[in-house]
Amino acid sequence: MRKGKRTAPALPPTALGLIVDHAAASASVFVPGSVGDTWGARVWLVLHRVRALNALRAVSRSWRDVVDSHPIWRVLCASLDPHGLHVRPTPTTAPAMVPSHAPFNAETFRRITRATCIVCAITCPDSTYFRRRAARHSLPPTSLVPSAHIGYVYTCAIHRPLAFCGRCLRAELSTLGIQAPSCLSLAPLAANERDPDLTRGLDLRAGAGVRAVCGPCREERIKYELMRGHGANMASWMGTGFWDWDWEHGGGDPGGWAPVWSEHGLNARDANRLLRNEDVAGVVTQYVEYGDWTVREAIEEMEERVWMRWWTKAGEMEGLVRATARMQRMEERAEEIREREAVRAKQLQIQEDLRRQVFAAGGGDIGSAGMDLLQDEFDEESDEDDDLLSLSDEFGLREMIFQDWARNRVLEGIWLSPHMDMNRYHSAANTNPEMRTLPSRVAPHHPLGAPRAPPTLPRSFPYTVLVSTEDRRSYAQVPTNFYLSTPPPPNRLVYHLSRAWEGALRSVLAPALSNIVSRVVAECDVADRVYAQVQSQDQRQRAYARLRDRCSLGQGERDPCRAVTRINADKLVEILRGPEPWVEGGGWEDVGTWHELVLEDDGTSDEDGQSDLASCTPSPEALQSPSTMRTTPSPPPSVDGTKRGSSVSVSVVGGTPVMQEAELEPETTTTTILTNTDDHSHAPLRNPLPRPLHTIPLIPRCAHHIGQQTKQVIELLWKENTGGLWMCRCTVCARAMAVQGVPSVPSVQPQPQPQPQPQQETWDIPMEVHIPEREPEVEGKGKGVAGRRSRERDDESGGGERKRIKCEETVQV
């Protein structure tokens, strides 16, 4: 066949005969597993071989002649027509002519199939029964119906589209007159069934497609989908020791990596184990016996149940819901019993009154009609268990499971969003072996140094080692990345889990972000007051440099809006790693050591100036546990008081910064405590330290373990917390926001500064600002001549009832 199709018709008959033999012997044959090793399996083989021969007949006329003359047609025709009813000799009118037999070819086989009900032939239990039924001239086919694999077939009047399976072409034995138990469990296709292998080339809307599929075919179909690759990610979700899936799909070499999910399907053994698992037994039964869902919907439902069973607290939540429902039912029945006893007591009282009336009237007894009126029948309720589906709708079981899973993920320091970040991280781990192990130095840590261990893997799925030939496989426990401990959720749960995860992240980080906003506002207020006291440009530059060093969040900005704009998600995560945001009200003043700020002349070296300055944000290692926050520290050492040049120190009088020119003298700080014991000493405790927040999560150390979606959520939450900085703070807007319930950002009201004395040349950074009470403002009394005359009249009359007075209270920053 050097020239392809042009020389194919010119092949000799001997070569074509060999091609026909090979095609008939090696043709792909599909026999439904529900048919088994019965007579129906032989009918399926005949039909598939005929389809292969018809494909060869369509090549050319010479090929069709050779295929029609092949002796295999005699065997094929005898299989469906054992008595030769459709190949009998054709009668002739001439007495000298001998009746001729019809040739055994494709046309004869087509005539046999048109006169034979294929469903009856496949449904027959054995060949003997089929021969007896064919000899009795069964009902002729009357309709042409489609099938899932062999196209259109002829059926009799008994076998309508809803009376047999459109996939295996079997019907109930009762349709053939055989009394046998039903084993097909036929169920009509779902209204939205679009399984390609069940409805290939068919039109269900026109009413000419497959109408019903039996239970064994549905079970075989869902098993085939699992083996083909759909739902293979459930293999790694089932826990340790459920099956040996990792080694077979991990490459077969020692140390092979088995991905969390794979495009490879399950083998037959694992698919059967999964279908028999109690977690998905209800889904399989619903799909196989009742025909609910399509095959893909059934697999999605299986994935959802398996994932929720193994990776959430669904079992515990179901137990709590059932216990709650049982307790409510007990309370309702107790209330019903009390009501029945009250009704019964009332009935007895009425009956006693009637008896007295009848006895007073002259004797007798209450009639049967009266007794019937007094009888009250109560129907006892059944003690059946509550339906979990109804309980889920009543108590919000799914929402409880999702919220608990999301909150635990956030508290454990796994901030990968279930929407996108988890899939990206697991995909990167499948291609990069270095991501499959996580060193302890980059594991999430507690901001206050509490000894909380990160989560551990529920199973050792990453690595497998082959021990010996006798022992098929053995798993080795190795240090691994616990970020891969939970596989990505199924697609049907991604939306609900993402909403729950975002809500949990907001609820956990909102108090800490609020403390950060308050700190930024305080630092900006300090910078504003410092700049107001600075007079020369040289001092302004040095003040700005020192403020940038001291004010770690505000960076020396006077406007808090500009300061919060410079803080992005990475900066926020870096701030959250410290202990300061995780105490009530913020712990910068109580955790960091705040020495007096001293401005030296140009003759002073920068190293000495930096040595006098302590960081207001210590490292997380300074606090080993929350209990150290209650420890009384030791006093700080003395500072060398040798004067090197003119300098200015700072003092606070009545909450107002006062600048005085003085020499450097040893001083102690009384504002802060708890710094690193290796570098600084502790100052005496001035006020009791605030308590830590109720919920403090583990914070990831590495930015790679915080997905892009997580950063977007953190930035959005940061914008919501700082939104009050851009709002108007007048009285009218404050009242409107209070009515609407909008949270206000703590702000510092400006206060008049005293006139500086000639010898006062420096500035101060007091972190406590006491705002004096303002004069009460009388509403309804305007400015100008009219307002003044109105106030004068009120003073003269002695009345002057004030309508509403608003006072500003002291703001503690």
Give pLDDT, residue 369: 46
Specify which residues 405 forms β-bridges with.
none
pLDDT attached to residue 135? 83
646 within domain boundaries: yes
Is 612 within the bounds of a domain? yes
631-671 confidence digits (pLDDT tens)? 334 444 444 443 343 333 333 333 333 333 333 333 333 33
Shared domain check, 273 and 179: no
- pLDDT band of 236, cuts 50, 70, 90: low
Same-domain pairing of 268 and 159: no
Query: How do residues 37-51 score in pLDDT, each as one tens digit?
Result: 889 999 999 998 998
Q: With beta carbons less than 8 A apart as the criterion, state whether 504 and 686 touch.
A: no
Task: Assess whether 211 and 222 both reside in one domain.
Answer: no
783 pLDDT exceeds 80?
no
pLDDT at residue 794, rounded to an integer: 56
Q: What span, in angstroms and rounded, lies between the C-alpha atoms of 484 and 414?
A: 10
Mean pLDDT of the chain: 70
The reported pLDDT for the residue numbered 94 is: 58
With respect to residue 480, please indicate whether it lies within any of the assigned structural domains. Answer: no
Cα gap 283→231, rounded to integer Å: 14
- Looking at per-residue pLDDT, the higher value among 628 and 519 belongs to 519
Distance CA 670, CA 680 (A): 14
Looking at the structure, tell me whether residues 194 and 247 fall in a common domain.
no
d(Cα 439, Cα 437) in Å, to the nearest integer?
7
Structural domain harbouring 122:
9-90+100-217
Q: Which has more pLDDT, 47 or 782?
A: 47
Give 743's contacts (C-beta < 8 A, 6+ positions apart). Answer: 724
Q: Of 382-386, 538-542, 586-590, which range is least confident?
A: 382-386
pLDDT digits (tens, 9 = 90+) for 349-376: 888 888 887 777 765 555 544 444 444 4
Over range 719-726, report the average pLDDT. Answer: 88
Q: Which helix H or strand E contains 565, and what residues bound it? A: helix 560-565
Look at residue 569 in the predicted model and tell me its pLDDT: 92
Question: Which pLDDT band holds residue 198 (cuts at 50, 70, 90)?
Answer: low
Q: What is the mean pLDDT of residues 575-601?
A: 64
Cα–Cα dist 498/504, whole Å: 10
Kindly state whether residue 422 falls inside one of the protein's structural domains: no
Residues 150 and 288 in one domain: no
Residues 21 and 38 in one domain: yes
Distance of alpha carbon 773 from alpha carbon 811, whole angstroms:
10
Does residue 60 sit within a domain?
yes
Segment 416-422 shows an average pLDDT of 85
Which range of 68-82, 278-292, 731-745 scores highest in mean pLDDT? It is 68-82
- Residues 573, 679 share a domain: yes
Residues 6+ apart with CB under 8 A from 484: 260, 425, 426, 429, 436, 457, 462
Classify residue 715: in a domain, yes or no.
yes
Under 8 Å between Cβ of 568 and 715: yes
- The pTM of the full predicted model, rounded to 2 decimals, is 0.65
Mean pLDDT of 154-169: 86
Question: Which tops the pLDDT comparison, 472 or 500?
Answer: 500
- Encoded tokens for 394: 């009543």
**pLDDT score recorded for residue 751:** 44
125 assigned to some structural domain = yes
Is position 21 within any domain? yes
Number of domain units in the chain: 3
Residues 657 and 517 in one domain: yes
Phi, psi of 557 (to 5 degrees): -80, 145
Question: Are both 158 and 37 inside the same structural domain?
Answer: yes
Per the model's pLDDT, the better-predicted residue between 371 and 145 turns out to be 145
Q: Which of 196, 217, 238 is the last residue of a domain?
A: 217
What pLDDT shows up at residue 618?
Answer: 35
- Distance from C-alpha of 83 to C-alpha of 365, rounded to nearest angstrom: 89
Give the closest residue to 669 by CA, choosing from 642, 645, 703, 634: 634
State the Cα–Cα distance between residues 550 and 616, nearest whole angstrom. Answer: 7
Rounded CA-CA distance 145/164 in Å is 11
Instruction: Select from 311, 334, 359 the last residue of a domain.
Output: 311
Taking residues 431-441, report their average pLDDT: 74
DSSP class per residue in 226-274: HHHTTTGGGGGGS-TTS--HHHHHTTSSTTEE--SS-SS---HHHHHHH
Residues shown for the chain: 813
Q: Which amino acid is at 47?
A: L
pLDDT of residue 362: 65
Using the 3D structure, point to which of 706, 727, 748 is the last residue of a domain. Answer: 727
